[in-house]
């Protein structure tokens, strides 16, 4: 699917960079596992006591527990985000076992705090690790383990394989995330909001393609490559030069380009909903014409 050097991407990405030289980010709202952060405070006491009285084992036990619990909290939070994404998608790979790894780290923290920090026998440390790991499993669950594949009838009708569809969707979503990351570095709230709408429309198009993967064999595939590559590159170029470009005509041109991209994504989403085909050759040529008119080419 990769067409990193698409004409659209080359034209708008390179032009913004050149003009700037001449002028001289969820995605998802997921709560942290607060209990693990609270539990971290119980490890501070052994760490401080060990440092004050030169008790190396107690210090290492407390420090190990703190590190393990914070890493577990981060992994479990990321696992929750991935689990929500997995639940909302029709075709996707099973996420990495982040929550499972976090649960293992909770057990490690309990062992470190018990066996090292409190000087308990190893067997009691292992019991504490097992109990805390089990409690974390009950609280947070484990990661989904099965890939979500194509419906066999859809696959036969479209002549596609699950791996090909997964690869195409993952590549497109990586580009959407790159656009979101670049957008977070822009100073203009208006441009950030416009890019947020563009990425939401892009995700909606991808969700529609999941329902009818046959679109990947038609023009939706080129549409995603062309527009996502182009949008990512032009935002990256503008972000790098935004201070120099702030009061130049190219700043308005950049805004006009995003307006066009937003409009076309919305059109594509509505057309896919109606299961109609869009003449993307015409749409892409219209955008190129505007880029030439605005001077972003």
Question: With contact defined as beta carbons under 8 Å apart, do 90 and 50 qualify?
Answer: no
- Domain residue ranges of the chain, discontinuous segments joined by +: 7-25+149-294, 34-140
Q: What are the structure tokens assigned to 169, written together?
A: 């969707």
DSSP code, position 92: B
In sign, the C-alpha dihedral spanning 218, 222, 224, 227 is: negative
Non-local CB neighbours of 117 within 8 Å, separated by 6+ positions: 43, 46, 47, 50, 57, 58, 61, 62, 65
> By C-alpha distance, which of 194, 209, 202, 204 is closest to 255?
194
Q: What is the pLDDT of residue 187?
A: 86
Per-residue pLDDT of the chain (297 residues), as tens digits, is 444 444 444 444 444 444 444 433 333 334 578 899 999 999 999 999 999 988 998 999 999 999 999 999 999 999 999 999 899 888 888 999 999 999 999 999 999 999 988 889 999 999 999 999 999 999 999 999 998 876 666 666 656 677 777 888 888 889 999 999 999 998 888 889 999 999 998 888 888 777 777 666 555 666 666 778 878 888 888 888 887 777 777 778 888 888 888 888 888 777 767 665 444 444 555 555 555 554 444
Q: How far apart are CA 101 and CA 77, in angstroms?
A: 12
C-alpha torsion sign, points 29, 30, 34, 37: negative
Task: Give pLDDT, residue 218.
Answer: 56
Cα–Cα distance measured from residue 157 to residue 214, given in angstroms and rounded to the nearest whole number: 8
Q: What are phi and psi of 148, to 5 degrees?
A: -100, 115
């Amino acid at each position: 699917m990769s067409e990193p050097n698409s004409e659209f991407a080359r034209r708008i990405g390179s032009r913004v960079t050149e003009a700037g030289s001449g002028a001289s980010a969820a995605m998802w709202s997921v709560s942290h596992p607060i209990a693990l952060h609270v539990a971290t405070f119980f490890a501070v006491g052994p760490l401080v006591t060990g440092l004050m009285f030169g008790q190396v084992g107690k210090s290492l036990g407390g420090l190990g527990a703190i590190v393990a619990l914070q890493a577990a909290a981060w992994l479990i939070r990321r696992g929750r985000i991935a689990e929500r994404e997995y639940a909302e998608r029709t075709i996707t790979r099973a996420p990495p076992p982040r929550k499972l790894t976090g649960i293992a780290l909770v057990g490690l923290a309990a062992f470190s705090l018990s066996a090292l920090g409190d000087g308990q026998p190893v067997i009691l440390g292992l019991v504490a690790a097992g109990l805390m790991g089990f409690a974390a499993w009950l609280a947070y669950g484990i990661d989904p383990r099965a890939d979500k594949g194509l419906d066999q009838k859809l696959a036969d009708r479209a002549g596609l394989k699950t791996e090909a569809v997964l690869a195409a969707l993952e590549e497109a979503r990586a580009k959407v995330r790159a656009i979101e990351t670049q957008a977070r570095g822009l100073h203009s709230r208006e441009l950030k909001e416009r890019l947020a709408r563009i990425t939401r429309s892009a995700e909606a198009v991808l969700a529609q393609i999941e329902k009818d993967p046959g679109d990947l064999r038609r023009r939706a595939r080129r549409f995603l490559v062309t527009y996502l590559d182009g949008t990512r590159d032009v935002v990256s170029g503008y972000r790098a030069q935004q201070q120099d470009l702030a009061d130049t005509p190219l700043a308005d041109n950049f805004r006009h380009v995003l307006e066009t991209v937003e409009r076309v994504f919305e059109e594509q989403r509505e057309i896919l909903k109606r299961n109609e085909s869009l003449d993307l050759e015409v749409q892409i040529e219209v955008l190129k014409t505007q880029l030439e008119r605005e001077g972003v080419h």
